[in-house]
């Protein structure tokens, strides 16, 4: 039995066309990322069956939901999926518990993978079950909406910019719960976002959409490290690495280790051995031909140049590096690249000025 997702859609409109052919993993979080108007939501709606692509094919594992060559189209209400939109859209006259129970009405007891108490505990809303939606914060309402979607026994969860309507405080409140879903459920999640930070923090797999086409698709870091797509992330170009907490130093720093060496961050509370996801922006990486001395930058790793390419900023280049198998990007001036004779195969040192811990 296949557990992957196949989606092939073509939608033609007067001022927009979606034309994608995707093979996605059957577990983890796949992010659909792109600027407004790139086709993210249209693609998600086609997956959900809310929009019928005239030339479409959609299969979740071995279950085919659309195959226009055979005239097959399973309507949304018959698809085993959960959908979470920007607005929670809870029923205001029902309690949190009753809103969640509404999700269960679409399923039989035999097919339901989750119980209401389990989902409430997973999303941290067990204490809210008797409240009405009007008594909840935006983040709490969105967690209830996710719970309702999970109780519909979905084979796939579709999330259309679920944090877009929330302020920063509420986003930070709900992100840990999305990470928990990621860790604890084998359910595939398709996550639409135009926020590079959300994508870097949550996604395993990334689809970059531009003008209705998938210009890149693959594991998160493989796509993030591509230097032929700098305009997609612009000033946010960078990679994500997983590092392990090694030791808490006496001077309020924590040392993290990864295959390419170690990096220091502000003191963390996690126990040694814990894996953390770190984001390193290309703009925070500088290059040196010899090990730097008398510098305030603590994080310095050995690297080899893989390739370089121009950026949208005149006078700058993006350099892709290999650090013991992990990719790293550096954004430097063309003058610096010429002065250092940056070229593929060159061994050098990468100085990392800042490391952003994700979560």
**Could you report the per-residue pLDDT of 238-291, keeping only the tens digit for each?**
999 999 999 999 889 999 999 999 999 999 999 999 999 999 999 999 999 988
Q: How many domains does the chain have?
A: 2
Q: Please check whether residue 268 lies inside any domain of the structure.
A: no
Among 194, 180, 55, smallest CA distance to 125 is for: 180
Last residue of a domain, one of 229, 261, 296: 229
Which domain CATH number covers 29? 3.40.50.300
What is the reported pLDDT for 236?
80
> Both 62 and 134 in a single domain?
yes
How many Cβ atoms are within 10 Å of 57's Cβ, its own excluded? 19
pLDDT of 188-198, one tens digit each?
999 999 888 89
What is the reported pLDDT for 295?
85
Q: Please check whether residue 271 lies inside any domain of the structure.
A: no
> Both 209 and 298 in a single domain?
no
Last residue of a domain, one of 202, 229, 256: 229
Question: What Cα–Cα distance (Å) separates residue 82 from each residue in 106, 182, 190, 221?
Answer: 11, 15, 10, 27
Among 7, 13, 17, smallest CA distance to 211 is for: 17
Residue segments in the chain with a per-residue pLDDT below the cut of 70: 1-2, 106-112, 230-235, 359
For residue 31, give its domain range. 5-229
Strands 156-160 and 81-84: parallel
* Residue-by-residue DSSP string for 17-50: EEEEEEEE-SSSEEEEE-STTSSHHHHHHHHHTS
Q: Please check whether residue 286 lies inside any domain of the structure.
A: yes
């Amino acid at each position: 039995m296949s557990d992957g997702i196949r989606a092939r859609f073509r939608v033609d409109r007067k001022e927009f066309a979606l034309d994608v052919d995707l093979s996605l993993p059957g577990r983890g979080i796949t992010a659909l990322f792109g600027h407004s108007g790139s086709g993210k939501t249209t693609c998600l709606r086609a997956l959900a069956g809310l929009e019928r692509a005239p030339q479409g094919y959609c299969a979740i594992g071995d279950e085919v939901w659309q195959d226009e060559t055979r005239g097959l189209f399973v309507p949304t209400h018959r698809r085993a999926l959960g959908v979470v939109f920007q607005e929670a859209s809870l029923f205001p006259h029902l309690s949190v518990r009753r809103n969640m129970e509404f999700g269960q009405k679409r399923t039989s007891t035999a097919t339901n993978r989750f119980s209401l108490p389990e989902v409430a505990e997973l999303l941290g809303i067990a204490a809210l079950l008797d409240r009405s939606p009007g008594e909840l914060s935006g983040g709490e309402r969105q967690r209830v909406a996710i719970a309702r979607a999970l109780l519909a026994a979905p084979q796939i969860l579709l999330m259309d910019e679920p944090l877009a309507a929330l302020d920063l405080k509420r986003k930070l409140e709900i992100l840990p719960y999305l990470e928990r879903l990621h860790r604890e459920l084998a359910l595939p999640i398709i996550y639409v976002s135009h926020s590079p930070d959300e994508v870097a923090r949550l996604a395993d797999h990334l689809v970059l959409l531009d003008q209705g086409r998938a210009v890149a698709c693959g594991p998160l870091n493989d796509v993030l490290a591509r230097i032929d797509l700098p305009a997609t992330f612009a000033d946010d170009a960078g990679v994500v690495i997983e590092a392990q907490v090694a030791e808490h130093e006496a001077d309020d720093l924590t040392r993290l280790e990864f295959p390419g060496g170690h990096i220091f961050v502000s003191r963390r509370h996690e126990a040694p051995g814990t894996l953390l996801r770190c984001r390193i922006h290309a703009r925070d990486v500088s290059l040196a031909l010899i090990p730097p001395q008398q510098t305030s930058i603590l994080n310095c790793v050995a690297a080899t140049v893989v390739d370089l390419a121009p950026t949208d900023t005149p006078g700058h280049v993006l350099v892709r590096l290999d650090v013991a198998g992990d990719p790293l990007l550096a954004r430097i001036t063309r003058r610096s690249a010429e002065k250092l004779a940056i070229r593929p195969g060159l061994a050098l040192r990468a100085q990392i000025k800042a490391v952003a811990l994700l979560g």
